[in-house]
Amino acid sequence: MIFHEIVAQAVREVAEEEGISEETVWKILPKVKERARN
């Protein structure tokens, strides 16, 4: 599995577990990435 596929699968799983849309998870990922850098 390539990295993008792994991330996409994780996004699907988190969205399902949390009861939110995949789009919402994808929307917040850049914010998470930025926080992780700081």
* Average of per-residue pLDDT values in the chain: 93
Mean pLDDT within 11-36: 94
Full 3-state SS string of 20-38: CCHHHHHHHHHHHHHHHHC
Encoding tokens for residue 26?
A: 């994808």
Burial tier of 8 (Cβ tally within 10 Å: 0-12, 13-18, 19+):
middle
How far apart, in whole angstroms, are the C-alpha atoms of residue 13 and residue 3? 15
Q: Is the pLDDT of residue 15 over 90?
A: yes
Which pLDDT value is given to residue 34? 92
Q: Is the pLDDT of residue 21 over 80?
A: yes
The fraction of the chain above a pLDDT of 90, given in percent, is 79
Q: Give the confidence band of 33 by pLDDT, cuts at 50, 70, 90.
A: confident
Q: Is the pLDDT of residue 5 over 90?
A: yes
